[in-house]
Structures are given as C-alpha cells and as structure tokens.
Amino acid sequence: MSKKDYYETLGVNRDASEDELKKAYRKMAMKFHPDRNPDNPNAEAHFKEAKEAYETLSDAQKRAAYDQYGHAAFEAGGMGGGNPFGGGAGAQGFDFSDIFGDIFGGGRGGGGRSSAQRGSDLRYNLEITLEQAARGTETEIRIPTMAECETCHGSGAKAGTAPTTCTTCAGHGQVRMQQGFFSVQQACPRCHGTGKMIASPCKSCNGQGRIKKHKTLSVKIPAGVDTDDRIRLSGEGEMGVNGGPTGDLYVVVNLKPHAVFQRDHNDLHCDMPISFAAAALGGEIEIPTLDGKASIKIPAETQSGKQFRLRGKGIKGIRSSTHGDLHCHVIVETPVNLTDRQKELLREFESINDKDSDRHNPRAKSWMDKVKNFFAE
C-alpha cells in the first residue's frame, strides 16, 4: 500500500516555507493527538503520519531527496531515513513540548515556566456629583490591598531563616510527567510552582509573603467624565507573587442623581414647571445652569411639553472639543389648594371659554373630531 504524499498530509503546497510547514504540523498535531481523541481509533495513525511528514520536510536534505525521488528515497537505505518515529525534535530543533506546553502547563527547556505571577488588578467604584464631573476634581480614596509583609519582606520565611530550594523540582517549579508516549511538564506538586520550600513560615503572613492592608490614594478626576468611565492608576493594584509585577487599580466613575439635571452624554435635561397664566400669556423666566442663572423667553400660548434649548450650556465631555446643550422641558402646572376666589375666577373663565371653545382649544377640538371619526367607522 503506497504512502500518502507528505505535502498532502500536512495540507501545504510543495513550495511551502519552513514556517508554513511548522504551522501546518502544529495544527495537525493538535487535531489528531491521541490524548485529545480517545474515541477515535484512527487519530494516532493520522498523528504519526503528520509527524513523519514534518520530520522529513523540515530537513533540507531529506526534503530535496523526497522532492526528487518521493518515498523511494528512504527505502532500502536510500537516504538512511530509518524509523521516522525514532527521533525527538526535527531538523529545525522543533521541540514537541512547544505544541502542548499551553495545554498541560509546561514550557520549553528544563527550567519550565517562571513561578512569578502578576498581582491582581483592583476596581474601586467612586461616586461623584454632576458638578464634579463637569469641572473635574481631586479626591482621596482608601482601598484594601495585599502588600509585602514587613516582617519577612516578602520571603514568607520566619525571621532569621530563608526559603530553601525545592528538592522535588530542584527549584525549577516544574516536574516532567509521562503521559502516554510522550512527556509533559506541570507545576511541582510539592512547592506548587514556586521552586522554594519554607520550613518555618512567617507568623505575620503565614508564609504567604503578603498581608492585607489599606492604603490611601489621591485620584485626579478629569473634567467631563461620565458614568462607567475608568481611570487607571498603574501599579496601584495588588503586589505580585514571587517577584511578579504589581497589578493596576481601576477607578470606575458613577454619577450621583442630581436634584435638577439629568445627563445624556454631553447634554443636560431639566423640567421647567410654569403656571397656566405664564404659559398662556408668555413671559420671561430664570432657569439654573451649571454656570449660573440664565433667562428664557416663553412665547404666549406655550403648550406643556415644549422644549427649549440653550446651546453650549451642557457639559464638555472628556473626549469632546465642544460643550453640549441644555434642554428645558416645559411642564404647565395645574394649580392646587385653590381659594374660593380662585375657583370663582376659573369658573368664570371656563364659561367664557366655552362660548368659543374651538378657537381657544384647537388641540381638544382636533382630538374630539378624531374620536367621533373613530366611533363612526
């Protein structure tokens, strides 16, 4: 039975580069590795075919002979190919653990992965007022964090003692384990990947080298921030493990509800209650803004829900070059707690109004016409 073409096995063209061969082999190895395909009896055969093809094509001399003579170049001692599964790494120094290191936690070489770990990032939720968000502010925050133990200075060992090298992994933090027909590396079960053993742990930190503390930081809030904006304080998170770098602190902004304004990106909105008489007759009223008072002219016969816009009276966002606008929404307020005299005047007004209702109440007339048409259908 003739063997399958090596280029076809790896799924590459005959002019494939070394990098293309290596990527194709990794893909095949990950796909057909027996440990990942326990229910596929053909997986191991495909895996061996891919390995044989790569070991041949990754060697310049073997590839040249294969391109000229095909599989016959390695038969009857043609190129001295021998058992294609007898070798370790290929001609290009390709380490088998390079493929599976990420799966089983191992790395390349004897030392394994470093046991140093970056400290955790921290999040702090900061509530500020709308005015502080618009103008910017500076505030102090107090956060819990893991800091270096002052007693052992981060070693985790009792004063006067020091950590010793782990005898199981010789300080590498990794041990080689046999899995199937190849070996992989994993974290040392004795030292848990640190490479060190502590015979007498520090009592202050119980051998962790870190203790929980609180620290106070000053945070500058730039003008224009909005809810869910994040301010990063580099290196202010938790300290790393075994010499690893410190994490970062993210201050997440949240705006407190405001008594007058509602924010919509860079625009502000506010309700503006006015009296029935002011809406009917018109006039000028004062409204608040973040920069002080402003005046708005209310035209006669203004209806409830009318919106007035004051340009540039909103907020200049942190990523914007211009200010937003202030939108004032008119609400015609119905008077309450009326006196007898007020009631009398309103009844008189209503009786006069009824004589020419269509003229004075055009929206009511339009609505009633629609209702009549609806029931007439």
Structural domain boundaries enclosing 302: 262-334
Considering the domain boundaries, does residue 178 fall inside one? yes
Q: What total of structural domains would you count in the chain?
A: 4
Do 138 and 230 sit in the same domain of this protein?
yes
* Same domain membership, residue 131 and residue 23: no
Does any domain span residue 368? yes
**β-bridge mates for residue 256, sequence order:** none
Question: Do 285 and 298 contact (CB within 8 A), yes or no?
Answer: yes
Task: Kindly state whether residues 177 and 247 are assigned to the same domain.
Answer: yes
> Residue 369, exposed/middle/buried by CB under 10 A (0-12, 13-18, 19+)?
exposed
Instruction: From first to last of the 377 residues of the chain, give the pLDDT tens digit.
Output: 457 788 888 888 888 888 888 888 888 888 888 777 778 888 888 888 888 888 888 888 888 887 777 777 776 444 444 433 333 334 333 344 444 443 344 443 334 444 567 888 889 999 999 999 999 999 999 988 777 887 887 788 888 788 888 888 877 777 776 655 566 777 787 777 777 888 788 888 888 787 888 888 999 999 999 999 999 999 888 877 767 788 899 999 999 999 999 999 999 999 999 888 888 888 888 888 988 889 889 999 888 888 999 999 999 988 888 999 999 999 888 888 889 998 888 888 888 776 665 556 656 556 566 666 666 66
Let me know if residue 115 belongs to a domain: no
The answer to whether residue 27 sits within a structural domain is: yes
Measured distance CA(133)–CA(127) in Å, rounded:
10
Q: Are residues 55 and 12 in the same domain?
A: yes
Residue 221's pLDDT is 93
Q: Residues, the chain, total?
A: 377
| pLDDT score for 251 | 92
Q: Do 209 and 312 reside in the same domain of the chain?
A: no
CATH of the domain at 57: 1.10.287.110
Residue 117 inside a domain? The answer is no
Helix (H, G, I), strand (E, B) or coil at 342: helix
Write b or e for each residue in 281-319: b if 16 or more Cβ atoms lie within 10 A of its Cβ, otherwise e: eebebebebbeeeeebebeeebeeebebebeebbbbbbe
Question: 109-115, long-range: CB within 8 Å, 24+ apart, which pairs?
Answer: 110/172, 111/172, 111/174, 112/169, 112/172, 112/173, 112/174, 112/185, 113/173, 113/174, 113/193, 114/173, 114/242, 115/173, 115/193, 115/194, 115/195, 115/241, 115/242
Kindly state whether residues 135 and 155 are assigned to the same domain: yes
Last residue within a domain, chosen from 239, 255, 271:
255
Closest to 338 measured CA to CA, from 349, 351, 352, 354: 349
* 234 and 350 part of one domain: no
Shared-domain flag, residues 320 and 209: no
Query: Is position 103 within any domain?
Result: no
